[in-house]
């Protein structure tokens, strides 16, 4: 397996003969990093350059086939002050203002 | 359904439209504060609760995923997302090859962007011991953390200077190369290592001179060996793989001992891409059209592949050749 980068655009290429030949996998995709859980189970992060959404790919057979991986969700809690809400809702009565 | 003007009905009801507009603005403000140019505002499934004098809102944040790494059957995923304090980190671990993830703890910093580093920022040696780091360059402050409990807690790692390359792990130890620059000169490289199960670093100072600011350093590990590559950062814009002499002088490939002693590696095999028998060469057998040689390790245990350098075409980004150690 070979993954390296010179311009922040990465290629993932696989060798199974000690480096004599390489085969591109996930060709033409902007890859950012790869994680190797085992010799055959890998996770590859692609996209996310130029504002694109990240894409995760996984293989369990050393790159012969790939599946999209659903990225985990992060729940963020944000606090907004009543003053902020009042400014926002000053011209129009917000549906949620009655809760304050 | 359309109104009398031919526009959608919602535009015939200004108050309702404004309400929607206000809600959209609220969502945008709630998601503001990001420092990432690519980050989008938080959105989806917003649920507001009445809290005086402020309201807390939960949302699924837009996460910018930064890197993945793996070790010992596990995978980790690092990202950051806009939060009330600006940017927050998230690290997830998968024990089933990416089918599902559980969130683990994060280092006490707001960002771990691999500034100045070609890659990295998260590395695990096994399920328990790992590192998270970033670099602001030779005059800036690094963020470098170690966990010995699978990411539940993180401790700061104090090294002298900035990381010159992503850290590597070999045979139960972590290795790092650091340096410092104060205009116009840079100090020598330091070489540091620690057992991965402890945050106990020993440093060999001045083990190698820094010749130029643009010098590029790569560390790689395979088995119990650690490899160091030093190459000048001569970028030949527009050069192609057949151009010779367009990029600066030769680099150095050394095998590092645990104490930071370099043993130059002189015998290499030059592997023209998808061509015939490899030839013996030294670095660089041909000048690299794009920046410098890089390093990649094979995780495979099958010999003889142990270390590969690759040069890349500057325009097409396609590789020209590899050199591997014999």
Does the pLDDT at position B187 exceed 80? Answer: no
Cα distance between residue B155 and residue B172, in whole Å: 18
Query: What pLDDT shows up at residue B283?
Result: 39
The answer to whether residues B148 and B172 touch, using CB atoms and an 8 Å cutoff, is no
Instruction: Provide ipTM, 2 decimals.
Output: 0.75
Phi, psi of A49 (to 5 degrees): -85, 150
| The pair of three-digit structure tokens given for residue B247, joined into one six-digit string | 């990029």
* Coil, strand or helix at B95: coil
pLDDT category of residue B153 using cuts at 50, 70 and 90: very high
Nearest to B296 among A3, A38, A50 (CB): A3
Length of chain A: 100
Q: Is the pLDDT of residue B224 over 50?
A: yes
As a whole number of angstroms, the distance between CA B166 and CA B147 comes to 17
> What percent of the residues of chain A are helix, what percent strand, and what percent coil, each to the nearest 5?
15, 40, 45
Spatial contact of B131 and B167, defined as CB atoms under 8 Å apart: yes
In this complex, is the C-beta atom of A44 within 8 Å of any C-beta atom belonging to chain B? yes
| Domains and their CATH numbers in chain B | 9-57 (no CATH), 63-210 (2.120.10.10), 211-326 (no CATH)
Q: How far is residue A86 from each of residues A64, A99, B51, B90, B246, measured CA to CA in Å?
A: 56, 12, 14, 32, 63
Q: Is the pTM of this model over 0.90?
A: no
**Residue A31 touches partner B, C-beta closer than 8 Å:** no
Query: Quick one: what percent of chain B has pLDDT higher than 70?
Result: 45
| B 16-75 near A (Cβ less than 8 A) | 18-19, 22-23, 25-26, 29-31, 37-38, 42, 48, 50, 52-61, 63-75
Cα–Cα dist B95/B117, whole Å: 28
Among A1-10, B173-182, B293-302, B314-323, the range with the most confident prediction by mean pLDDT is: B173-182
| Sequence-ordered alpha helix ranges (H) in chain A | 82-88
Note the pLDDT of residue A58: 94
DSSP letter assigned to residue A72: P
Question: Model confidence over B265-313: pLDDT tens digits?
Answer: 655 444 444 333 233 333 333 333 333 333 444 343 333 333 444 544 4
Task: Tell me the average pLDDT across A11-37.
Answer: 74
So what's the pLDDT on residue B47? 39
Between these two residues, B314 and B241, which has the higher pLDDT value?
B314
pLDDT tens readout for residues B63-91 = 888 888 999 999 999 988 888 878 888 99
């Amino acid at each position: 397996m070979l993954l390296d980068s010179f311009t922040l655009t990465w290629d993932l290429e696989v060798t199974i003969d000690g480096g004599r030949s390489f085969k591109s996998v996930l060709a033409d995709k902007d890859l950012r990093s790869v994680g190797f859980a085992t010799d055959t189970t890998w996770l590859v992060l692609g996209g996310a350059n130029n504002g694109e959404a990240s894409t995760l790919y996984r293989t369990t057979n050393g790159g012969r086939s790939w599946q999209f991986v659903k990225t985990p969700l992060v729940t963020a809690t944000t606090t907004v002050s009543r003053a902020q809400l009042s400014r926002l809702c000053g011209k129009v009565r917000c549906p949620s203002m009655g809760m304050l | 359904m359309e109104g009398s003007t031919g526009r959608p009905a919602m535009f015939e009801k200004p108050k309702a439209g404004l309400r929607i507009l206000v809600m959209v603005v609220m969502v945008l403000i709630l998601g503001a504060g990001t420092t990432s140019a690519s980050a989008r505002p938080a959105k989806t499934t917003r649920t507001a609760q009445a809290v005086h004098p402020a309201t807390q809102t939960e949302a699924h944040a837009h996460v910018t995923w930064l890197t993945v790494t793996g070790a010992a059957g596990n995978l980790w995923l690092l990202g950051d997302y806009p939060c009330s304090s600006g940017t927050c980190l998230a690290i997830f671990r998968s024990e089933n090859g990416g089918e599902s993830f559980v969130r683990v703890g994060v280092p006490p910093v707001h960002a771990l962007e691999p500034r100045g580093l070609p890659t990295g920022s998260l590395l695990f040696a096994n399920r328990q011991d790992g590192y998270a780091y970033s670099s602001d360059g030779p005059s800036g402050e690094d963020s470098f953390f170690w966990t010995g409990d699978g990411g539940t807690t993180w401790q700061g790692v104090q090294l002298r200077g900035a990381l010159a390359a992503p850290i590597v792990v070999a045979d139960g130890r972590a290795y790092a190369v650091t340096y410092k620059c104060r205009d116009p000169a840079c100090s020598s490289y330091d070489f540091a290592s620690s057992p991965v199960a402890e945050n106990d670093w020993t440093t060999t100072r001045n083990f190698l001179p820094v010749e130029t600011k643009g010098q590029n350093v790569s560390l790689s590990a395979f088995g119990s060996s650690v490899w160091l590559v030093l190459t000048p950062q001569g970028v030949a814009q527009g050069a192609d793989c057949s151009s010779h002499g367009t990029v600066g002088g030769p680099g150095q490939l050394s095998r590092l001992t645990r104490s930071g002693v370099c043993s130059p590696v002189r015998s290499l095999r030059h592997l023209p891409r998808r061509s015939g028998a490899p030839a013996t060469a030294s670095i660089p057998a041909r000048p690299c059209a794009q920046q410098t040689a890089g390093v990649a390790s094979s995780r495979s245990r099958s010999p003889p592949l142990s270390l590969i350098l690759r040069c890349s075409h500057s325009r097409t980004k396609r590789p020209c050749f590899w050199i591997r150690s014999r």
